[in-house]
Every structure is written in C-alpha cells, then in structure tokens.
Amino acid sequence: MIRNSFAKLLKFHDESTLREQIRTNLLDWAADIMNAVGLAPSAHHRVLLQYLSRIANGEIKRLIVLMPPGSAKSTYVSVIFPIWWFIQHPSSSIIAASHTAALVQRFSRRILSLIEENQQRIGFNILPGNRSPSHWCTTTGGEYFATGVRGAITGRRADLIIIDDPIKSMAEADSSHHRQSIWDWYTAELMTRLKPDARIVLIMTRWHEQDLGGQLIARGDEDWQVLRLPAIAEDNDPIGRPLGAPLWPEWENLEALIKKRSVIGSRTWSALFQQSPTPPEDRLFNIRLLKETSLPDPDNAPRVGTVRAWDLAATSLSSQGDPDWTVGLKLTQLKRGGYIIDDIIRLRCDCQRVQDEILNTAKLDGHSVIISLPIDPGQAGKSQISHFSSLLRGYRIHASHERGSKMSRAIPVAVQIEAGNVAIRRGSWYSAFIDELEAFPQGPKDDQVDALSRAFAALSSIPPTNRRVFVPYNVR
C-alpha cells in the first residue's frame, strides 16, 4: 500500500513538473505535442520556436518566417503556438488568416482538439457552445477568430495576428492586381485591428519579389525580424548548417531535394524552396537547354500524341504599328519521354485567310493530330468554336479557356525545357521562335509562347487513352 501511494505521488510529481515545463517553455510544449504522434522538433523547428517565444514575451513585435513547402511551419506556428500564447496571455485575442478561410479553419479545428485533450495541463478549455472553427473563446477570456485573406474582420481586435501563406498559387503571385489587393487588405483592414503592444507573425513560402513578405522586407521597417530558412543551406545559415545541407534531412535528404529542383525548374525552386524569388522580368526559358533534333518524322517514331495548338491574333491586320500574329505550333510527345517542337506557322492576315490556313494545315497534319483552339470569353467565344468545329468536321478538336497569366501558363513547359526534355526541329521559323522565347516575358510579342503553352497543356490534360479518339470541345 505504501509502495502504491509512493508510485501515485511520483506520478503526480512527474505530471506536475511536466505541466510546469509546458506552461513556461514553448519548446517543451511543442515537444510534448509532437511526441504524442511519434515525432520531435527538428533543428529548424527549434530555431523557429525560439523566435516565437520572443514574440510571446514581447522581445519581438513583428516576425516574418520564410520556409519551403513541407517544412511543418504551419504545424508549429498556426497550431502549436496559439495554445501556448493563450497560456501566457489568457485573456488576449488572436486573429488568424490564410489564403482561404477553409485552410485557417482546418488549423483552428486542430487547435480545438489539442485544447480539449490537454485542458488539465494548460489550465483552460473552450467555452461551451463556442466551438465554431471560425470563432471560439476560452474559459480564461481568450478569443480566436479565423478568416481568409481579404475576409471581413470589421469589429475584431487582436493582440496577436498570424498570417499563414497569404498566397496559394503562382498564378495569384504573378497577378499584380491580386498582390495589390492583399497589400490593401493588410494595410487598410488588418493593421487597423491591432491593439496596443500587439504582435504579428507572417509565415509564408515566397512566390514573387513583390508578394506580401517581399513588400514588408523592402520597406526596411526595423521592427520586422526575418527568419529565412532555405531548403538547401546558403552562407550564414540561421541554424548553422554547412553550405549545401538540407533543411530537414530526417524528412527529405539532399538527393531528393536536387531531384525536385530538376523537376520544378529554377524559378519555382528559387522562390518556393530557397525563399529568394527572382524578378519576374528575368528570362523564363533557358534556350541553351532546348535540344535540336534529327529524329525521323514523328509519324515513324513511337509517340504518345501530337497537338497543333493555335493562338489567334488579338489585333487585326489593319491595326497600326506591329499587329499580333496568328500562330499554329505543332508539338509531339514521344513514348520514350520528352517532346519535340515540330513546326510553327505564323501569319498576319484577315479572318477568312486564318480559317483557310487552319483548315489547310489540318489537312497537311492529318487526322491523327489534335487541333487545340482557345475559347474566348462570352458567347462570341462559344460561337467561334462552334464555327471551327463545323469547319474542321472529322478532325479532333481540343478547345479550352485560357486560365491564369501568360507567365503561369508558360512555366510548365519552361520546366520541361530546363530539364532537357524538349527538342526542336530547325525550320524557317526557328530564329523568330528562339528570339521570342529568349525575350519572354519582356519581349514585344508572345504569340508563339502562348501557342507552345497551349500545346503542352493540351498534351498534359488529355489522357493518353483519349488521344486517338475524338476529343470534344467544351463550351460551358
């Protein structure tokens, strides 16, 4: 009986000690949470937790955390840290924001579950009837509000604001309108919600030089501390890694990171994984890696499919200056891997001549080649595609709307060029095409780039099993 009593006392003492540790030390709290799922904070997580502790005690008022995708930054900042913040500041208010309300509400649900599981240790719980993932209150007077970026926050006030990945895609990042709308929301709405002595944590993966993090850093505000942790270590690494070492070797080693870099391309790698986005005016296409080919005609080589993609001139032939070109680019995907740019047609002429040229080209290409056409917005686009389908009856048509910026549409094929997976034939069109690729996106014309992007997208979007049957167009 004495032995049992001693065991209970020891267990109580151990639990009491642990409770004290997790209430006073963020690293202990994080380690306890991660231990429950068989994990532990890695070196970069420990550095991150040190910065977050300084946010909680007021030593730092503004913090920007820049880490690559898959580094568990959201787990530590958006899930583990808010609970510990409420331990230190029981009656405070948090506003949490992300690129969509659904994402930040997912973080909120994880927080609610952890609070319920650990209420005895942390000293508080959720008020009954306050379990909405968008807004809840604690039994000690704390309040948590979750919203999407640009969501309404009128009437809310915050002691801590956490912004987790305000941009969700390269297309959004490349849109100056979208970047400006995020900046306007941050400055005009979010910043006006701060209480005196409030703190802000912005955690994100970089996408663009002028994304939210980039604009804040460029302003040179001394209040902002920046923790930048690239996937592969550079000089003066914040966690003391040697040059070239991976960020989280237990999760993804250097070999895996290098392989990933070869797949996604240098621009995306530099931005998302090294947290150092290159200027959008930099050349997208590495033409030195575009191989010339002397392979036989694709009709005699094993292939997955061939597309002739058309980019129709947006300006008329009668336009002053330098009107656009109508371009038809032929791209083949080979079974052995890779792509061949087979042929490019460029013309400046009236609508009737364009139609005639598209039909004549279809006859020369043959019925095995898919014809990819853009659908202009509105009823006019539907009517145009309906007309082309009649004109090209018996041929296989793939029609689709253009989505995203020209840059975002061009990135997938630029990545394939950089990986050495695209070859090109020489023809009378070769020099003009190379010049346009080299100048993109700052060059005077991008019609051939648009046609190349469309051809690659068409081959990627049509399942191989459907490439030898008629592909109906979609005008919904």
Q: Which of 218, 239, 215 is nearest to 71 (CA)?
A: 239
Q: Which residue segment(s) compose the domain that 423 sits in?
A: 287-466
User: Cα Rg for the chain, rounded, in angstroms?
Assistant: 28
Residues 145 and 44 in one domain: yes
| Paired residues of 199 in beta bridges | 160
Would the CA dihedral through 34, 37, 43, 44 be positive or negative? negative
State pTM to two decimals.
0.64
In a domain, 430, yes or no: yes
Q: Place 313 in a pLDDT band, splitting at 50, 70 and 90.
A: confident
Residue 14 lies in a domain: no
Residues 310 and 444 in one domain: yes
Least confident residue range of 137-151, 182-196, 260-274: 260-274
In a domain, 302, yes or no: yes
Query: Taking Cα atoms as reference points, which of 383, 370, 382 lies closest to residue 455?
Result: 370
Confidence band for 14, pLDDT divided at 50, 70 and 90: low
* C-alpha dist (Å) from residue 150 to 100, 109, 232: 9, 21, 33
What tokens appear for 461 in the block? 């979007």
Cα 207 to Cα 112, 202, 227, 276, 279: the distances in Å are: 31, 14, 16, 8, 10
Is residue 95, in this structure, part of any structural domain at all?
Answer: yes
Q: Answer yes or no: is 4 within a domain.
A: no
152 SS3 class:
coil
116, 236: one domain: yes
Question: Where among 273, 295, 329 does a domain terminate?
Answer: 273
Predicted confidence band of residue 60 (pLDDT cuts 50, 70, 90): very high
100: number of Cβ within 10 Å: 15
Instruction: Give the chain's end-to-end CA distance (angstroms, integer).
Output: 78
- Integer Cα distance of 255 and 261 in angstroms: 10
In angstroms, the CA 51 to CA 38 distance is 24
Cα of 257 vs its chain's centroid, Å:
17
Q: What's 389's domain CATH number?
A: 3.30.420.240
205, 155: one domain: yes
Query: How many domains are there within the chain?
Result: 2
Whether 471 is in a domain gets the answer no
* Residue carrying structure tokens 């150092």: 276
- Give, as one character, the DSSP assignment of residue 287: G
* CATH at residue 245: 3.40.50.300
pLDDT score recorded for residue 220: 74
Distance CA 73, CA 231 (A): 13
Q: What are phi and psi of 135, to 5 degrees?
A: -165, 125
pLDDT tens per residue across span 260-302? 887 887 778 888 999 988 765 557 888 878 888 765 554 455 6
362, 439: one domain: yes
194 occurs within a structural domain: yes
